[in-house]
Structure 1
Amino acid sequence: MNFGRISVIAMNVFKEVIRDRILFIIGFYILILAAAIGLLPEIAASTENKIFLDFGLATANVLGLVVAVFVGTGLINKEIEKRTILVLMAKPIARSEFIIGKYLGLVTVLAVLTAAMTAIYLGFLQFDKIDYSTNSLLIAAFFQFLQLSLIAAVAITLGVFTSSLLATALTFFVYLTGNITQDLLQFARLGQNPGIQRLTQALYLILPDLSRLDLKNDAIYGLEALPNSMVLVGHTVYGFVYSLMLLAIAIFIFSQREF
């Protein structure tokens, strides 16, 4: 595996996405926060300012999700539809390098986007004199980045063997279901239906447990509300390992395809 070739592919993805979408997303985020501050002054100034704190984190997560899903599902399919994949595969580039490079490029975009939106978010909180815990919000932003990176791996994996439209729909399904798998598991146990219990258990085992990487609500209440450091490390490892497993699946499927 040649890391030089991987870095070139990743840089090309990064430049393309930054040029086409990121500045627009960041500008849109600024407008949304400015509108929220202006339209909801009483809420923003209420006790502990929880609503605006939650709104800023949730909006950043949604915008990052849009980038991860729509860009991720199209990274491979775009090359196939334009037939540029034939030119790339004719070069001394391994298919694993191609997938990893595409993924790392998108992850870099998500890292820049998350960092920019977090800085803007903290700037609005400071400007409006809203009380917050910097460390807890930064931890929540880091785990938001991990969640988006995992979703990007899902999007790329699905985009390898399905159309962009179907991959987009399935990725959103994984995101929505992955955030409630624990709730579905508990609900099925209350219902006492063996069939539903087996289905929800299968979903819990197969789909990523994205609730592990969602610390928005915990961060709003400060560091004391966050899980302890060992649990946070465990969640971090979980996110990395699951993403690596998805990339391994994507590489295997892509290596079997004929163009």
Structure 2
Amino acid sequence: MSTATLESPAAPAARRNRPFAWVEQSLTLAWRNIVRIRQNPEALADVTLQPIIFLVLFLFVFGGAVAQGGTWQDYLPFLLPGLLVQTVVFSTMGTGVGLNDDFAKGVFDRFRSLPIARIAPLIGAVLGDAVRYTLSIVILMVTGFALGFRFGNGVGNGLLACLIVLAFALSLCWIWVWLGLKLKTAQGVQGIAILVMFPLTFGSNVFVQTDTLPGFLQTFVNLNPVKYLVDTMRGLMLGGEVQKPLLITLAWMVGLVAVFAPLAIRAYRQRT
């Protein structure tokens, strides 16, 4: 009897402290986020309807004017890789908004009372939202293929491009995780995210070639990480230079995680 009494309180701590327990716990919490999405499908509007609307809007409204060939069919191969980047980049802010909302509802107070690693809820939130990013990529690519887009550099390179943009999204979302933990309201997170996202995406080569822009804007675009990600997408999907923009993109990804993941973990510990 005494042995059971002594071992019982230690059991949760043992489960929490066993090697790599945080991986299992993070995956469990990621599944919790996926289930929540399934129960609230309208929350997927930004990654299901928005990619289709953006593609149709920019392709048919601006295609004839922007495309060098003068038709939307000529503009589609140029537009789709860039729009893929824009769509996924915009999707990342939902991670921070969701985290902020969970804190406001007291969900993380419940997590704090459980025998789990403190980092698990953050990693679980990021991994769970990877499903949203993937869904956004699939929907945009299916729509593009329906309109006539084809990989010009092989299916394998095209799929690699999709994996790279997904990895970039998982790196970028740590900014919004940090802001979601630092700001008071979800509306504040969304407002700041939009202010950052619009210059990054529209002030880039997503819609037009860099050399068609004014000189001062070209300087900004050449410092913009989105520009190099878009170049990587186009190189892999259509053919062209890949190595230089890919290396720069990978450097940005490592830098984003190295800077903002520790900041997010520190902010999380301060709040819990």
TM-score by length of 1: 0.69
Q: Does 1:222 align with 2:238?
A: yes
Q: Deviations over 1:137-179 (max 9, x none)?
A: 5454444333433332211110011022222232233334556
Corresponding residue for residue 51 of structure 1: 75
Find the partner of 1:2 among 2, 11, 22.
22
Paired residue secondary structure (1:93): coil
Find the partner of 2:186 among 164, 167, 171.
164
Corresponding residue for residue 103 of structure 2: 80
Residue 236 of structure 1 deviates from its aligned partner by: 2.4
Contact 1:103 1:152 in 2 (8 A): yes
Q: What CA distance in whole angstroms lies between the structure 1 residues aligned with 2:88 and 2:232?
A: 14
Unaligned runs of 5+ in 1: 191-199
Corresponding residue for residue 11 of structure 2: none
Q: Which moved more, 1:147-156 or 1:157-166?
A: 147-156
Which contiguous aligned blocks of 4+ residues in structure 1 show a shift greater than 6 angstroms? 34-45
When the two chains are superposed, the root-mean-square deviation of aligned CA atoms in Å is 4.1
Residue 125 of structure 1 deviates from its aligned partner by: 1.5
Q: What CA distance in whole angstroms lies between the structure 1 residues aligned with 2:237 and 2:116?
A: 48
Contact 1:125 1:131 in 2 (8 A): no
Q: Which moved more, 1:37-46 or 1:213-222?
A: 37-46
Distance 1:212 1:15, change over 3 A: farther
Greater Cα radius of gyration, structure 1 or 2:
2
Residue 75 of structure 1 deviates from its aligned partner by: 2.2
Distance 1:248 1:20, change over 3 A: farther
Distance 1:148 1:90, change over 3 A: same
Residue 30 of structure 1 deviates from its aligned partner by: 4.3
Residue 240 of structure 1 deviates from its aligned partner by: 3.9
Corresponding residue for residue 145 of structure 1: 166
Q: Which moved more, 1:211-220 or 1:161-170?
A: 211-220
Find the partner of 2:267 among 248, 253, 256.
253
Distance 1:99 1:122, change over 3 A: same
Paired residue secondary structure (2:148): helix
Q: Does 1:104 align with 2:127?
A: yes
Q: Does 1:239 align with 2:253?
A: yes
Distance 1:175 1:216, change over 3 A: farther
Q: What CA distance in whole angstroms lies between the structure 2 residues aligned with 1:41 and 1:158?
A: 36
Residue 249 of structure 1 deviates from its aligned partner by: 1.2
Residue 8 of structure 1 deviates from its aligned partner by: 0.9
Aligned pairs, how many? 233
Contact 1:64 1:110 in 2 (8 A): yes
Paired residue secondary structure (2:115): coil
Contact 2:176 2:193 in 1 (8 A): yes
Q: Does 1:67 align with 2:88?
A: no
Corresponding residue for residue 193 of structure 1: none
**Structure 1 counterpart of 2:22, one-letter code:** N
Residue 77 of structure 1 deviates from its aligned partner by: 1.4
Q: Deviations over 1:168-192 (max 9, x none)?
A: 23223333455669x9xx859x9xx
Unaligned runs of 5+ in 2: 1-20, 205-209
Distance 1:24 1:233, change over 3 A: closer
Contact 2:158 2:236 in 1 (8 A): yes
Paired residue secondary structure (2:88): helix
